[in-house]
Amino acid sequence: MINYKKKIAEIICEAVEGLTVEEIMSMIEIPTDTKMGDYAFPCFKLAKTLRKAPPLIAKDIAGKLAGEEAFEKVEPVNAYVNLFLSRKGFMEDVVKEAVKEGDNYGRSTLGKDKTVIVEFSSPNIAKPFHIGHIRSTVIGNSIYKIYDFLGYDTVRINHLGDYGTQFGKMIVAYRKWGNKEDVIQSPIKTLLGYYTKFHEEVENDPSLDDDARAAFAKLENGSPEEVELWQWFRDESLKEFHRVYDMLGISFDSYAGESFYSDKMDRIVDWLKEKNLLIESEGAQIVDLEKYGMSPALITKKDGSTLYITRDIAAAVYRKEHYNFYKNLYIVASQQNLHFQQWFKIVELMGCEWAKDCVHIPFGLVSLEEGTMSTRHGRVVFLEEVLNRAVDQTKEIIKEKNVATDNIDETAKMVGIGAVMFQELSNNRIKDYVFSWDKVLNFEGETGPYVQYTHARAASVLRKAGDAVVEKAKQVSVLDMAYVLSDSAYDLAKLIYQFPQVIAEAGDKYEPSVVTRHIVDIAQSFNRFYHDEYILVDDEAEKLAKLALVIAAKNTLKNGLYLLGIQAPEKM
Ligand code: ARG
């Protein structure tokens, strides 16, 4: 496709002196009122170098651009040059590309030969996979898809919380009150029960904490009994996590969690010592970060055991050496801001120039209308239950609304789970939000079901047109886009045109909601076009042109949903 901003900038660049194409591109605006053109170029900045009043400059430039084929109209208005693209040429350019590229429309090679690590989800073993985990899981998955689409080599890592003193607690609790059969029956719920009990009992018996610390130290030293219990907890938990990942259609390239780094910690401690960064404090080793306005980071405890932050440092070093990343992304809640700031600084002080390539991508809290959760007190809403409920409720809605489907279970799954994921990706990630069933499953609002429904509507138009005609419309060389120059068709084409740019922006900002919002716009725009125009007209040339626009819109919606990790049903 033609880069219109660039094209305009190149033409203007010839016409005026002293500005580069890039500078001009950054000056070009897209007027909010389309009556002012598709693009506008403000001339204020040129007044000084050209020693002329801006309106005169605008007039000059407009005169020079007037003959260009790409524009239908070029109009100087005060200090602005307003540019109207030639609709036919634009339509042809955009629709042909989006039809031809199909599932690849919007893909780029921007990230060629660069590796981006996307670390996301990273739940803690033997703890419930609850509604709070949906954020990192779904946002991270989308960021991975966006980077993959932009042509980067990607590595998806699930940094499982499978190590640390909580396993000491779990081991102690299991030994004191546990029962093997119960764990096998319902692993996470049972283990959570032990964990809760531990926290109740420790209030009266603080020595339990010492036992837990001792058990973890044994685990770290490879004592077989502790390792076996831990391995068992881990395996059982992973089974449960996998059920949820399968429902969400999410997978990982690596499950190297915290335990993976247990034998890589000495090197980090030595390295820190060598750089004179460690200070002893009551037997523990810390890095003082006061100079940088942060509290000290605890690297090893009195008993020599390492901590969460130590394992993060070891993991980053390992990733650099193993993957030689261009960027190392962490999709982790904003509650951990300080943690990441601390260890990014430590890695920098260790002399790793790549510290700057580690990025923490924080997000806000999700809460439920019913109230907050707390793992310690056993108040928790399992993500699996939320997803099942979404599917069940969607099935009811499908029956009630008589939604067209060949397989109600399949459709309910796509739509129900898609709805939950879509809501998750609708707002700026940093915002806190309240999970609301009414909003999630609304087929009319700015929701997943609405976008999926619009995609299915486009598919239905194509089915009605018949395979032969659709195949012909896909032969883009036969299209005469002069038939689709209405405002609603043109607006839709403009949104389709912006799609590749939108993906790049979402990648730059690590913000999937940029894609979400854009495909809602496309869905709304498509539905306007659908209502305004009769698509399956008798005239073959007109029908082909309109169908091509339908195919282009359908491809864009499908690819947009894909980037969010959501399926696009053909029937609904
Ligand atoms: N397991 C941690 C938790 O549930 C999140 C891990 C985040 N990733 C990291 N590299 N620290 O809070």
- Our mutation pick for probing the ligand 1 site, out of 241, 313, 331, 332, counting the most ligand atoms within 8 A of Cβ, is 332
CA–centroid distance, 119 to ligand 1, in Å, is 9
Q: Is 322 among the residues known to form the active site? A: no
Position with higher pLDDT, 335 vs 440: 335
Question: Do the domain assignments include residue 110?
Answer: no
pLDDT per residue over 127-139, tens digit each?
888 888 999 999 9
Copy the structure tokens of residue 542. 């007109």
pLDDT per residue over 38-62, tens digit each?
999 999 988 888 889 999 999 999 9
Q: What is the pLDDT of residue 19?
A: 86
Write the CATH number for 323. 3.40.50.620
Q: What is the pLDDT of residue 34?
A: 87
Q: What is the pLDDT of residue 275?
A: 97
Radius of gyration of the chain (CA): 29
Question: Do the domain assignments include residue 313?
Answer: yes
Helix (H, G, I), strand (E, B) or coil at 556: helix
**Which residues are within 8 A (CB) of 100 and not within 5 positions of it... i.e. 6 or more apart?**
476
Are 16 and 75 in the same domain?
yes
User: Which candidate in 130, 145, 494, 558 is catalytic?
Assistant: 130
Q: What is the pLDDT of residue 372?
A: 52
Are 262 and 356 in the same domain?
yes
Locate all alpha helices (DSSP H) within 221-370, ordered by sequence: 224-248, 265-274, 308-323, 337-349
> Smallest Cα–Cα separation from 126: which of 76, 186, 86, 68?
186
Q: Are 36 and 82 spatial neighbours (Cβ–Cβ below 8 Å)? A: yes
pTM of the model: 0.93
Q: Work out the pLDDT band at 297, boundaries 50, 70, 90.
A: very high
Q: Are 522 and 119 spatial neighbours (Cβ–Cβ below 8 Å)? A: no
Question: Do the domain assignments include residue 376?
Answer: no
Are 336 and 389 in the same domain?
no
Question: Do the domain assignments include residue 378?
Answer: no
If you average pLDDT over every residue of the chain, what do you get? 93
Cα 211 to Cα 384: distance, rounded to the nearest angstrom:
33
pLDDT per residue over 463-495, tens digit each?
999 999 999 999 988 899 999 999 999 999 999
Domain boundary among 44, 63, 85: 85
Are 121 and 9 in the same domain?
no
- Of these ranges, 175-189, 244-258, 358-372, the one predicted with the greatest mean pLDDT is 244-258
Are 237 and 273 in the same domain?
yes
Copy the structure tokens of residue 374. 């707390």
How large a percentage of the chain has pLDDT more than 70? 98
Question: Do the domain assignments include residue 570?
Answer: no
**What mean pLDDT is predicted for residues 148-165?**
95
Q: What is the pLDDT of residue 199?
A: 93
CA–centroid distance, 161 to ligand 1, in Å, is 6
> Smallest Cα–Cα separation from 71: which of 63, 79, 46?
63
Cα 475 to Cα 19: distance, rounded to the nearest angstrom:
41
Are 460 and 524 in the same domain?
yes
Q: Work out the pLDDT band at 379, boundaries 50, 70, 90.
A: low
Overall number of domains in the chain:
3
CA–centroid distance, 115 to ligand 1, in Å, is 21
Domain region containing 547: 384-563
Are 467 and 337 in the same domain?
no
Question: Do the domain assignments include residue 109?
Answer: no
Domain boundary among 85, 102, 127: 85
Q: Is 291 among the residues known to form the active site? A: no
**What mean pLDDT is predicted for residues 308-314?**
97
Are 62 and 29 in the same domain?
yes
Write the CATH number for 64. 3.30.1360.70
Question: Do the domain assignments include residue 571?
Answer: no
Are 234 and 120 in the same domain?
yes
Question: Do the domain assignments include residue 19?
Answer: yes
Question: Taking 90 as the threshold, does the pLDDT of residue 80 lie above it?
Answer: yes
